[in-house]
Amino acid sequence: MMLLAGAFTSQPYISPREANRIKAVVTILPQAEFVEKVGGERVQVTIMVPPGASPHTYEPTPRS
């Protein structure tokens, strides 16, 4: 019964390889490139400032 309950959860499947990656959040693209070069496939990098936005005037929202 436990197996069936787990099959209907809304959680997306995350492979073991991706689950073991270190999650890093940076503010701008050059920082992301640096972290990716250092961490390689061991990191998953998220950039806060979207493309085209100025890092000087960008104001993150609680959702971002």
SS3 label, residue 55: coil
Q: How many whole angstroms separate alpha carbon 57 and alpha carbon 35?
A: 23
Separation between Cα atoms, residue 11 and residue 7, nearest integer Å = 9
The rounded percent of the chain whose pLDDT value lies above 70 is 70
Percentage of residues of the chain with pLDDT beyond 90: 45
Model pLDDT, residue 14: 67
H or E element in which residue 64 lies:
none
pLDDT of residue 2: 46
- Which pLDDT band holds residue 19 (cuts at 50, 70, 90)? confident
* 3-class secondary structure, 31: helix
- Whether 11 shows a pLDDT value over 60: the answer reads yes
